[in-house]
Amino acid sequence: MSKNGTNILVVDDEVGYRTVLNNALTERGFYVKTACSGDDALEVLKNQEFSVIILDMKLPGGIDGLELLQKVKEQYNTSVLIMTAYGGIETAVEAMKRGAFNYITKPFSLDEIILNVDRMIAQYNIIEENKYLHSELEKAFGLKTIIGNSREIQKVLDMVSRVAHSAATILITGESGTGKDLVARAIHFTGNRKNKKFVVINCATLSENLLESELFGHKKGAFTGAIQTKMGLFEEADGGTLFMDEIGDIPVSVQAKILRVLQEGEFIPLGDTLARHVDVRIIAATNQNLIKKVQEKDFREDLYYRLNVINITMPPLRDRKEDIPLLTKYFIEKYNERENKRIKGISPDVEDGFYQYHWPGNIRELENVIERAITLTNEAIIPLHIILPFVKKAGGNDMFWDELFSLPYKEARKKSLDAFNTKYVMNVLNKNNGNVTNTAKEIGIERQYLQRILKKYHIKSGQTV
């Protein structure tokens, strides 16, 4: 490999041209290899990668320049510069159509060669950087982000794999916090649209007029405040995916326009008269019962069936509790890195409690609990009293009372007292904006005693319950 990271292959049957190019490019720090025929070049390419190939169109033997170019473009990510005699320009133009970067005519100047090589390297680096970025996006948002070994989540992963490369509209249903957005991203970033945009809109957060403008765009002057023309999200997502979260909250008046996009692939921006055509894959998600909304005339039946071509139902965490250890480990590692800590795991009683708990907030709640616990503790293992203030049973009681009642009295009293101290002090401290002196006065204890409590339970001002 050259010192600047670029390998160049020169393919020419004339030894003079090979020598001149080899010397000139080597002097500029490139690693250069040469080949005298198409067959020779293919042998070299089997053993080494090249960022740039400088290729003469007229080659001896069974493989000419055009055929070699085609084989190179099919098998390698390499930029090719064509050399041709003046009379061969027609062939060179054909080579450009087949993927060559550029062509130069013989005789050429070395400055012209170097200028083209610099441009080719810049293009090659951009392509490689984009490939890297897309691979990182796939790691960040692909199938591996959906964590779990349970049968329920494996069904989801299997469905994602089967539909990722299709063009079918997908409806993801499930309770809040189950990971519907992760599934939508995994479908996009593992499918054949992964190099295009993934555009997200939360339909529940926008008013009817604003939602319509966001989705379809508007022309300048279409309504009061429309001071400039705005592109809508359907147009922005053209060629890619539009993820419509909380689709059940879309007003009926907007539903008809979304149906037109699904049926016809077109829409009309606000204030315009011309239809825009788009190729957009729609993935929708909701935590609502759309069948019930259809029966109540709050959701169009035809739109429901257009959206529900493929349905993926996300299981609640209480139905896949065998995944809790894996999820807990993942979130501990995630927040260890953010907080620069080395917490190894949770205590056995916390683990037991996690299995008992019904997790109304699902995975989002589990992540929130782990994030808070990592922030609060410096112990190697997260203890029960750190977790207790953050998790509730359905009736509003602290999560582990059943577990506490099964313990010896002294142990149960200590754990309950630890949990009370942590939650009580944090609440009053937050109410006083982290001021320890004012907190001690309100509680009615000495400041030094409060500081001992803060130290014992690893509580810092500014932390939230």
In which region does residue 314 sit, left (phi positive, over 0), alpha (psi from -120 to 50) or beta (all else)? beta
Return the residue matching tokens 């750190």.
Answer: 386
- What are the distances in angstroms from CA 436 to CA 44, 239, 423? 72, 56, 15
- Amino acid identity of residue 262, one-letter, is L
Locus of tokens 């927040």: 335
Q: Give the chain's end-to-end CA distance (angstroms, integer).
A: 56
* The Cα angle at residue 6 between residues 3 and 7, in degrees rounded to 5: 110
Question: In whole angstroms, how far apart are CA 456 and each of 341, 378, 421, 459?
Answer: 18, 11, 10, 8
Q: For 280-293, what is each residue's pLDDT tens digit? A: 999 999 999 999 99
Q: 3-state class of 231 per DSSP? A: strand
Q: Are 286 and 300 in contact (CB under 8 A)?
A: no
| pLDDT value, residue 384 | 81
Spacing of C-alpha 119 from chain mean position: 31
Cβ–Cβ under 8 Å, residues 360 and 394: yes
- Inter-residue contact 339 to 378 (CB < 8 Å): no
Span 131-160, pLDDT tens digits: 656 555 555 666 777 888 899 999 999 999
Intervals of the chain under pLDDT 70: 1-5, 86-88, 129-142, 392-407, 460-465
Q: How far is CA 460 from CA 346, 370, 372, 419, 439, in A?
A: 21, 17, 12, 16, 13
List phi, psi (to 5°) of 429.
Answer: -65, -40
Q: Residue 314: name the closest of 352, 354, 287, 337 by CA.
A: 287
Q: Three-state SS for 168?
A: coil
What was the pLDDT predicted at 396? Answer: 43
Phi first, then psi: what are they for 242, rounded to 5°?
Answer: -110, 120
What is the structure's pLDDT at 1?
Answer: 44
- Looking at residue 263, its pLDDT comes to 93
Tell me if 381 sits within 8 A of 343, measured CB to CB. yes
Domains with residue ranges and CATH for the chain: 7-136 (3.40.50.2300), 143-315 (3.40.50.300), 319-456 (1.10.8.60)
